[in-house]
Amino acid sequence: DTGVSQDPRHKITKRGQNVTFRCDPISEHNRLYWYRQTLGQGPEFLTYFQNEAQLEKSRLLSDRFSAERPKGSFSTLEIQRTEQGDSAMYLCASSQSTSRELFFGEGSRLTVL
Amino acid sequence: AQSVTQLDSQVPVFEEAPVELRCNYSSSVSVYLFWYVQYPNQGLQLLLKYLSGSTLVKGINGFEAEFNKSQTSFHLRKPSVHISDTAEYFCAVSELRETSGSRLTFGEGTQLTVNP
């Protein structure tokens, strides 16, 4: 299968630690998105890449968050000095530039103790 | 800025009954509209989308939705639900701006619970 893959699926960490999530998009998709979803809420946009270029970042993406997509394929989302408020599901999605349909991965659930 | 309001946070319904999940949106430009479904601890799966053309769109699992531009609504309907339809449903909007790619703005979701 060539769906969107995210790793790890679950991460438990202590406050103050750094965590990194990886997303592998569908291979022919040149756009990649990160969203955050807290319990009982809809997903909120964090950032968006077209190929390797990060074209938009939400104000939700504080200085502790950084995302990369170095070769225009997989992407990483790093959170430094985690806080309890960072606990959420981090969703990755990909799309083709000619399509409005986003395909989502299963998500990476972060719990900060 | 665009926004999406899902009018019901929870909708309980009996099996084989019809259901409607309501969605209203706000945007200053033309939009595309989507409904996604999310099962527990999983990602989002596209149910259906409105891009252009007929305002009545059909999706997977027997769902359909109608785009009403004058009322800025995109309500989701199914004539007869199954237990397996129990899930969280999200309405989303994408504006026609090249600078935002296909960025989606989601509503807060409606939990559909189908009871036997």
Rounded to the nearest angstrom, the minimum Cα separation between B102 and chain A is: 5
Q: Decide if B104 and A45 are in contact by the 8 Å CB cutoff.
A: yes
Neighbours of B10 (CB within 10 A): 10
Q: What is the mean pLDDT of residues B86-104?
A: 82
Token pair 């395909």 is found at A103
Rounded Cα gap, residues A47 and A54, in angstroms:
7
Q: What's the confidence (pLDDT) of residue B97?
A: 66
pLDDT in tens, A25-63: 999 899 999 999 998 899 999 999 999 999 889 888 889
Q: Identify which has the larger pLDDT, B66 or A40.
A: B66
Rounded to the nearest angstrom, the minimum Cα separation between A104 and chain B is: 6
Residue from B44, B46, B106 to probe the interface with A (highest A Cβ count within 10 Å) = B44
Contacts of A44 in chain B (CB under 8 A): 106
Rounded to the nearest angstrom, the minimum Cα separation between B30 and chain A is: 13
Q: What's the confidence (pLDDT) of residue A24?
A: 97
Q: What's the confidence (pLDDT) of residue B53?
A: 87
Token pair listed for A50? 């077209």
Contacts of A55 in chain B (CB under 8 A): 99, 101
pLDDT in tens, B75-84: 999 999 999 9
Q: B99 pLDDT exceeds 70?
A: no
Q: B104 pLDDT exceeds 70?
A: yes
pLDDT in tens, A2-30: 799 999 999 999 999 999 999 999 998 99
Q: What's the confidence (pLDDT) of residue A1?
A: 55
pLDDT in tens, A68-97: 999 889 999 999 999 999 999 999 999 988
Rounded Cα gap, residues B65 and B81, in angstroms:
15
Q: Are B43 and A105 in contact (CB under 8 A)?
A: yes
- Residue from B90, B99, B112, B110 nearest B36 by CA: B90
pLDDT in tens, B41-55: 788 999 999 988 889
Q: Could you give the residue ranges of the DSSP H alpha helices within B1-116?
A: none
Q: Identify which has the larger pLDDT, B24 or B31.
A: B24
Q: What's the confidence (pLDDT) of residue B100?
A: 56
Q: What's the confidence (pLDDT) of residue B106?
A: 95
Q: Could you give the residue ranges of the DSSP H alpha helices within chain A?
A: none
Q: How far is CA B82 from CA A39, B54, B114, in A?
A: 25, 27, 7
What is the DSSP-derived secondary structure letter of residue A69? -
Whether B45 contacts chain A with CB within 8 A: yes
Q: Decide if A42 and B107 are in contact by the 8 Å CB cutoff.
A: yes
CB within 8 A of B21, min separation 6: which ones? B6, B8, B11, B35, B75, B76, B77, B89, B91, B110, B112
Q: What is the mean pLDDT of residues B63-70?
A: 94
CB within 8 A of B91, min separation 6: which ones? B4, B6, B21, B23, B25, B33, B34, B35, B74, B76, B106, B107
